[in-house]
Amino acid sequence: MNQTIDKVKKDLSHLEIITDPNQITKLSLDYYHFSPILHKQLQDKRGDIVIRPTTEEEVIQVAQTCVKYKVPITVRGAGTGNYGQCIPLEGGVILDMTKMNQILWLEQGVACVEPGVKMAAFDKLAKQTGWELRMAPSTYRSATIGGFIGGGSVGMGSITYGQLRDRGNLQALRVVTLEDEPCLIELRGDEVQKVNHAYGTNGIITQLEIPLAPAYPWAEIIVIFDDFMQAARFGQGLGESDGIVKKLITVHATSICRYLHQLKDYLPENKHAALVMVSEYDLEAFRDLVHEYNGKISYFKTAEEASHRTSLLEYTWNHTTLHARSIDPSITYLQTFYFTLDKVEHFYDHFGDEVMIHLEFIKFQGKVIPAGLQLFHFTTEERVNEIIRYHEEKGAGIANPHTYLLEGGGRKTIDSPQLNFKKEVDPYSLMNPGKMMIQNNV
């Protein structure tokens, strides 16, 4: 391999190439260590070199070179994923897209960006025109748009716009293929699903057209409750309040609140909490809703006030897991579609303190459902699988975060259009090899 890599380096010597082992280590990994199972499997995986292209033309050159020498290529954004999406299983080239960070155009309702554009930075500009991203993960400040499309699926904004995979939430993208003669393909509309959430196994994304959402001034609020299920019902009720515009509805059981030290002044002992973002224009209605559910507002910041502080976003989604693990590294997590409050209640009662419930309400096929990222102390792989099995037997959907396989997570199968596209654009299976289970078996 070393000789081959040397040839790649020589052919691409005009590009930014990183060979420092510490840098390579850093740029080979992501937040896979949230999972002890992935930690064991992935901790030693490294790329051989990192290349940082700055233009589409440079990406094509990298593709040509990797095809020429049959070198694996693993694309990454900011590396804020949690399942080793961008960890190279077979070495080779790490393609770091963070320098391809141009906003190509920004219009009413739609923008076209390079994949390395950071989400929060984009929003700062977009908000000046009255728009913002429809969806973003809790790693919003550092995550790239391309990385989110390649490896993400939901986030703040999903309570209104659903999942990234929902038709309309990604309008078009352009990819460079890994064919003998790498070329550019533009995919529009439904076609984008060939590449959406494919962990970079299906072509190198070089441009994305993304729909935007109207930018509201989002008030950030914590509401506390005596009873966990009351907090959960409040979350569902807010989600279903069609007259109240919102962006985030998180509910943490008290067992989770105790890990959020930075918010401890607003999270009294034994209380359960909803962390929400609501349009400032709808606050009167929101307060009436809080009153109906016997909640108490313990933290309230206008959008302007919130902009000077750490956003509540960073205590939701997988940042919750991050905070808990910073206090107790034995903690790991699951990702669950509960679908109904009845199921939430069942699991809450069944597992007690073993599985601490963290809910995120999202739109799922037009309906508001509770999803969640529960926390628990890792004991054995068997116990993790038992917990997953129990959830599935009772009708919850688990997007297993303890596998790096594309089919092991949220998508249980790879649809044939995605697989066919893979065969077309990556005939030598050079792209992020080992991540597609079906590809491994072929």
Which residues in this chain contact a copy of itself in the complex, by CB under 8 A? 108-110, 130, 134, 160-163, 166-169, 171-172, 188-190, 211-212, 214, 216-217, 239-244, 279-282, 284-289, 363, 365-368
Q: CB 394 → a copy of itself: shortest distance, Å?
A: 23
With respect to a copy of itself, which residue has the nearer C-beta, 97 or 133? Answer: 133
With respect to a copy of itself, which residue has the nearer C-beta, 17 or 229? Answer: 229
With respect to a copy of itself, which residue has the nearer C-beta, 363 or 422? Answer: 363
Q: 325 with 34: CB under 8 angstroms?
A: yes
Q: CB 283 → a copy of itself: shortest distance, Å?
A: 10
**N-terminal to C-terminal alpha carbon distance within the chain:** 24
With respect to a copy of itself, which residue has the nearer C-beta, 168 or 268? Answer: 168
Q: CB 289 → a copy of itself: shortest distance, Å?
A: 6
Q: Which two tokens stand for residue 150?
A: 């390649």
Q: CB 36 → a copy of itself: shortest distance, Å?
A: 34
Residue 405 sits at φ, ψ, to 5 deg, of -80, 135
Q: CB 186 → a copy of itself: shortest distance, Å?
A: 12
For residue 37, give the nearest of 1, 78, 83, 5 by alpha carbon: 83
Q: CB 218 → a copy of itself: shortest distance, Å?
A: 12
Q: CB 62 → a copy of itself: shortest distance, Å?
A: 30
Q: Give the contacts of 403 (CB within 8 A, at least 6 positions apart).
A: 37, 38, 83, 409
Dihedral sign computed on CA atoms, order 428, 431, 435, 438: negative
With respect to a copy of itself, which residue has the nearer C-beta, 34 or 161? Answer: 161
With respect to a copy of itself, which residue has the nearer C-beta, 46 or 165? Answer: 165
Residue 377 sits at φ, ψ, to 5 deg, of -80, 125
User: How many other C-beta atoms are found inside a 10 Å radius of the C-beta of residue 50?
Assistant: 21
With respect to a copy of itself, which residue has the nearer C-beta, 192 or 256? Answer: 192
Q: CB 61 → a copy of itself: shortest distance, Å?
A: 31
DSSP symbols for 186-202: EEEGGGGGGTTTSTT-S
H helices of 307-425, in order, are 317-327, 341-351, 381-393, 416-425
Q: CB 159 → a copy of itself: shortest distance, Å?
A: 10
Q: 93 with 52: CB under 8 angstroms?
A: no
Q: 207 with 174: CB under 8 angstroms?
A: yes
DSSP assignment letter at 356: B
With respect to a copy of itself, which residue has the nearer C-beta, 167 or 309? Answer: 167
With respect to a copy of itself, which residue has the nearer C-beta, 211 or 408? Answer: 211
Q: What Å distances lie between residue 52 and 13, 61, 90, 390, CA to CA?
A: 12, 12, 19, 44
Q: CB 219 → a copy of itself: shortest distance, Å?
A: 12
With respect to a copy of itself, which residue has the nearer C-beta, 173 or 178? Answer: 173
Q: 331 with 375: CB under 8 angstroms?
A: yes
Q: 88 with 53: CB under 8 angstroms?
A: no
Q: Chain centroid to CA 55: how far?
A: 25
Q: Which two tokens stand for residue 249?
A: 């509805």
Compute the radius of gyration of the chain from its Cα atoms.
Answer: 22
